[in-house]
Amino acid sequence: MVRKYALLAFAALPGCLGDKPASNACKKLKNEHPDKTYYGLDPRYINANTEYYSSSSWLGPACVFEPSNSTQMSDAVQALKAANSPFAIRGGGHMPIANAANINSSGVLLSSFGLNQLKLSDDHSTVNVGPGNRWSDIYKYLEPYGLTVVGGRLGHVGVPGYILGGGVSYLSNEYGWASANVASVTGVLADGKVVKATPENEYSDLFWALRGGSSSFALVTNFELKTIKAPTVMIGMASYGSDVAEQFIDAVHSFTTEGSKDAKAATIPMAEYIPALGKPAYSAILFYNGVDEKPAALKSFLESDMKVTSNTFSNRSMSKWCKELDPALSLLKGSKQRFYVLNIHASNKQAITIVHDTFMKVAKESLPLGVLVAALAFPAVTEKFITASTANGGDPQSLDVNGAPYIWVEESITSAGLVDDKDVDAFYEKANGQIVKNLQAAGIETAKFIYLNDANPSQDAFGTFPPENLERLKAIRAKYDPDRVFTDLMPGGWKLA
């Protein structure tokens, strides 16, 4: 326990220092909002600096400012701009890229924790959500009303970065991106002006940009999300043996090409290599928006040749699912996470096999010492997902529906805190270089699009957007942020060139 608090204190020490622009901004914010500005060993500072999915993000900002309304966020933007101070903004802190949602002592961290409002509309068709919430908060709030939203698959994931990157949900095969199910966005522009953007009003271009264009346009203080009637769903995890690779690949291919035609079904099939065991482990999170205990769409995972060692698939609310799963995820605090994403056409079973076999081989041979788990997830991205996402004005990603269904192979590595991210990235480069080489040798090309919420820093997610959409995004940025405040002073996260 003493060691834990010593580490937290060490992580907070940079906040006692700070470059002059950041120091000036902190002083101004402290003078104007003394109860919202935190330094050094203040427990609120420590919490904001360390409550991240990956410990790579414990960077130690000069100070933390935690607004609780749009006016205070506007004050912060104006103070930071006047001081020419770098800054970062954080929601749930799930993206495991060090500076995506934090900054070192050269800048100020804006924490969204105080923007945690939740309010259902009178007709229950939408819910206003502050960016300081996590999806578990929203699911819990909506549970008594028998409602849910198109939101995070894990309850501890934060709201703003997830939506601004598009957001993949268990409900996406039915309703598309989470960002396609937003009714309005309230945010602060680079000049401090507070605006509300909708698909129909004068800020409709800004609304479009915020449907997947990431963080270069405004600091969001409220999302108005469309609700869905779903008191309960069928959801749970099935685990299998370690020697079922062939059957697992069959199940992934079968669901993606056939089972996923039922838009109410979704899966996250996972293959994990665990160095301590020297062998893989296979499991799948299974979802069905209904009450059928054995939906035909999920037959390949529920009634296959794979030996099921455990199965929690049952009827419950999304809130109860989060309560079951999230405590285990909380045990990861202090470890490091790193992502990489590979996009393949799901119709080709050989492609799935090559990705799986190559990754597992390279993992067994070349993982850095200290890696705890190297995992692959194989979620399906269907034609219905894409058509639902592009409805109501479209989105910046504009996925090619003609290539569907896809599998966005989500690669993740969990390691001890002392493992260098550079060593993990070197593994990713080696593994994926070999995967692409083996695919090409088989005459198979990867699909183009890279989902930025799961991307590695080495990947050019924006480079996979349609060129005309990139130009439109740049024009929107120039209109609302001509001085590039949210690009140059706020450098973290995915930015337009």
Give Cα 340 to chain centroid, integer Å: 12
What are the sequence ranges of the domains in the chain? 2-111, 118-229, 233-464
Q: How many CA atoms lie within 13 A of 247 on its CB side?
A: 20
Which runs of consecutive H residues, i.e. helices, occur in 341-396?
349-366, 383-389
CB 181 within 8 A of CB 138: no
pLDDT in tens, 148-198: 999 999 999 999 999 999 999 999 999 999 999 999 999 999 999 999 999
Task: Indicate the DSSP class of residue 392.
Answer: T
- Give the pLDDT mean for 326-343: 87
- Look at residue 323 in the predicted model and tell me its pLDDT: 94
pLDDT in tens, 383-440: 999 999 988 788 999 999 999 999 999 999 999 988 999 999 999 999 999 999 999 9
Q: pLDDT class for 367, splitting at 50, 70, 90?
A: very high
- Look at residue 427 in the predicted model and tell me its pLDDT: 98
CB 27 within 8 A of CB 71: no
Cβ within 8 Å of residue 428, ≥6 positions away:
338, 340, 411, 413, 456, 458
More confident residue, 99 or 66: 66
Fold of 118-229: 3.30.465
- Domain 233-464 grouped into CATH 3.40.50.300: no
CA distance 104 to 109: 9
- Give the pLDDT mean for 90-117: 94
- Look at residue 1 in the predicted model and tell me its pLDDT: 35
Does the pLDDT value for residue 480 go beyond 90? yes
- For residue 147, the one-letter residue type is L
Does the pLDDT value for residue 16 go beyond 80? no
CA distance 290 to 265: 9
Supply the CATH classification number for the domain 2-111. 3.30.43.10
Token pair in block for residue 214: 């990431």
CA distance 438 to 434: 6
CA distance 363 to 366: 5
User: Which of these, 104, 112, 87, 113, lies nearest to 13 by C-alpha position?
Assistant: 104
Does the pLDDT value for residue 100 go beyond 80? yes
Q: What is the mean pLDDT of the chain?
A: 94
Task: Residue count of the chain, please give it.
Answer: 497
Token pair in block for residue 177: 């991106």
- Look at residue 334 in the predicted model and tell me its pLDDT: 82
What is the H or E stretch that residue 208 is in?
Answer: helix 204-209
Any idea of the CA torsion for 165, 168, 172, 173, to the nearest 10 degrees?
Answer: 120
Cβ within 8 Å of residue 126, ≥6 positions away:
120, 183, 224, 225, 226, 227
- Give the pLDDT mean for 332-337: 86
Q: What angle do CA 328, 329, 334 make, to 5 degrees?
A: 115
CA distance 274 to 372: 6
CA distance 442 to 439: 5
Does the pLDDT value for residue 101 go beyond 70? yes
Give the sign of the dihedral formed by CA 385, CA 387, CA 392, CA 393: positive
Q: How much is the pTM?
A: 0.94
Q: pLDDT class for 18, splitting at 50, 70, 90?
A: low
- Give the pLDDT mean for 233-262: 97
- For residue 128, the one-letter residue type is N
Lowest mean pLDDT among 52-61, 157-166, 243-252, 425-434: 52-61
Does the pLDDT value for residue 493 go beyond 90? no
Does the pLDDT value for residue 15 go beyond 90? no
CB 208 within 8 A of CB 396: yes
